[in-house]
Structure formats: structure tokens, C-alpha cells
Amino acid sequence: MHDIRLVRDDPDGFAAGLSRRGLDGAAIAAGLATRDKALRELLTRLQTQQARRNEASKLIGQAKAKKDEAQAKALLEEVAGLKDAIQQGEAEQRTLEAGLRDALATIPNIPAADVPDGPDESANVPVPGRAFGPPPEIANPRQHFEIGEALEQMDFERAAKVSGARFVYLKSDLARLERAIAAFMLDMHTQRFGYTEVSPPVLVHSTAMFGTGQLPKFQDDLFRVPVGEGDPFWLVPTAEVPLTNYVADEIVHEAELPLRMTAFTPCFRAEAGAAGRDTRGMIRMHQFSKVELVSITTPEQSAAEHERMTDAAQEILKTLDLAHRVVTLCTGDMGFSAQKTYDIEVWLPGQNAYREISSCSNCGPFQALRMNTRWRGADGKVKGPVHTLNGSGLAVGRTLVAVLENYQQPDGSVAIPPALQPYMGGKTTIAKP
């Protein structure tokens, strides 16, 4: 969420930032300014009325002491009128505040200055020096679902019978491979990069979804779990939600920052806007698993932390010897809460294309303002909102896809990358039972 003071102090800069996202920034800024002006004028009026009410209340006592009943009556009538006016004004204040808050809640983050402008993924820019390769040369490569089904360890048909489209059963060595990949990632992030492993809730309340920006704008992409008459639960689309909200409504001391957390969880997405895309295979599922990275930092730390987080995610792919590249997302392809995002795209021989396997985003103070999370300096003073960052470290299902396609063998088996072999009981190959 944005601080209304940003709109108030620099409306042109705010409008220009939103215009880079393809929005009518000037109209949005003008609408917010109108709401803000109406609210501030109302608050000024309420303060004036309250001050006069307090003054008139004192004068009543003085009038009665002088036995000036006419004056006392007039003052009593004035106080009663002010009381009614203040109550009406406070109701109006709540309405105006809610309207301003709701308007701010649906506006995306402002892109960082070095984010490339563009309408969609075609304008994303490769990051020099961060590509890793080259891709392997495989004759007549098959896609992962062809490999998995031939191994008789990947079953979409039975999953559809139980749950519908975009679900899968993994069995035998492929089920173990999924678990092995997650364990390998967690060990790498905790032992090499200093992230604290967390096992978080995967059912969260609406306030948590609001805090990280999924609500109210993207509720159609979420799975809602109503419970009774109260606030519903939501299945998390990523562990970003419970990990980032770990510090919601708190003041974090500077000595604790940067706070780095990682978690392996199931993730759930309705994929409401993905009709017709990746309908076969494991690329786009309603339920998938992911190792998430989250960092909470001071403003001065966040840019460097963004690079470090991306390095950590990349190191997983490098250790697995999977060719990949890193791109900076343009303004039209960036997520709602992000001010800058790097996508890591892994090479999939079966598709003859690079596909996203991780997004690492710096959200700046955007989520912290929604969560009411601030930090306290070494001098004891509260400095303002923290910065939050999140990234996939990595999507476990897509990493399994990449391993199957890049390590496929001519006889239909799949070689297990050396880094994963200890997690597979020393096995070197996955073959049909």
C-alpha cells in the first residue's frame, strides 16, 4: 500500500510511476488527492467543533455560577448541536477513511527507477553476466509429462478423477525426487546462505493476504475456505504470505535485520487467468510445492539483499547444472507488490524454451505499510516501514520438470544429478519399475 503523503507531497512523481505500469496515473493521483482533501477538511472541521464544544462546556458552568440561565440554556443547546454534528462527522470520517484506504489498497507498487519500461514479457531484459549454460544437446527431447508417464510414475488421469484438471499423482522414485529436491534446497539455503527454516501455517486469514497484496485485487486466483460466519481462511498461494506476515503489526529492531526465512510448503492457486495455458503437465498446477525465501530488511539493505536472494536461488540451478538465465521484468510484467523483480528462467529441452522457475522481488515498503511493520534503529527511535523481499528458491515441481527434461536418457530413464543422489539413497538413475 502507498503512504498518502507520497501522493500529497509528489503527485506528479506518483502519477508518473503508475503511468509506467500502463495505468492512468494522473487520474488515479487526482482521485486520491480529492479523497485526501475531503478527509483533511473534515478533520479540520471536527477539530474546530470539538474545541468549541469543550469551550462551550466550560462556559456553561460559568453562566450557571452567574445565574445567567438564558446564557446557560443557549450554551447547552449549542453543545447538544455540536455533539450531534461531531457524531455525524465522525461517521463521515470513517466512511472517507475507508474509501481512501480501499482506493490505495488496489493500486500497485511504483516501479524502481532502473526497471525497464514495457507492456509485457516481450520487454523483459536479460541481466548481463547472470546466464548459466549452455543448454544440453539432446536428440529428440521429450517433455516431462511424456517422460513421467512412460516411467509409470506420473499420473494425471487418476488425479483428474479425484480432483479435476491441473493435479497430478507422483509415485515411487518421482515422489521421492520431489522430496529430495526440497530437502536439497532447504539445506543449501540454511547451511550456505543463512536462512532460518520455518514450517508455517498454510491456512491464513484475510488480513495476512491483504498484508502481502493478494487481497483484495486477486481473490479470484485464491482458494477460499469459509469457516462459520467469521473471517474465512485462505490456502496460501506461496509461503511468502505467512513468512512475510511473521512480523505483521510489529516494530523490528535494527539488530535483527536482515531477517531471512525459508519454508517448504504446498501452494494453491486457482489459476483463474490461465485458461488454455500449459494445460498438460506440471508447469501450471492448482496445487504445487515450493521452497520460498523471504527477507525483512532496512531500506538501506534491500537492494543488496535482492541481489543476494537472486544469487541464492541461482545457486540451486548451478549446483544441479541446469542451464538458465536471469531477466529483469519490465513494468508491464511485474507483480502487483513488487518494485523490482528478477525472473530466473530454466531451459526446458522438451519445450525448446526458457521457462520461469523463480521470481525474486524487492517490494520496498509497500507490504510493510499494509502490514503495519516498522523498524527501530540502534538509537531507539522508530524509523519507518521495513522493506520486504520474497523469491522462489525454487519452485520444486518446476525443478523436477527441469531435471526430467535435462537429464533424460535415450533408453527412457532419467539420470539423477549428483547433488541429489545422497537424498535419493545413492540412486543414480530413475527407470521404469
Catalytic residues: 269, 284, 356, 359, 398
Contact predicate 344/355, CB 8 Å:
no
Contact predicate 305/79, CB 8 Å:
no
Q: Give the helix/strand (H/E) hosting 169.
A: strand 169-170
Whole-angstrom Cα distance, residue 418 to residue 332? Answer: 39
DSSP percent split of the chain into helix, strand, coil, nearest 5: 45, 20, 35
Residue 292, phi then psi, degrees to nearest 5: -105, 145
Whole-angstrom Cα distance, residue 231 to residue 361? Answer: 29
Q: Which amino acid appears at position 50 of this protein? A: Q
3 CA to centre of own chain: 18
Whole-angstrom Cα distance, residue 282 to residue 236? Answer: 19
Q: Strand 387-395 relative to strand 287-297: parallel, antiparallel, unpaired?
A: antiparallel
Whole-angstrom Cα distance, residue 8 to residue 390? Answer: 29
> Three cell numbers at 38?
475531503
Q: Which amino acid appears at position 308 of this protein? A: R
Residue 51, number of CB atoms within 10 A of its CB:
11
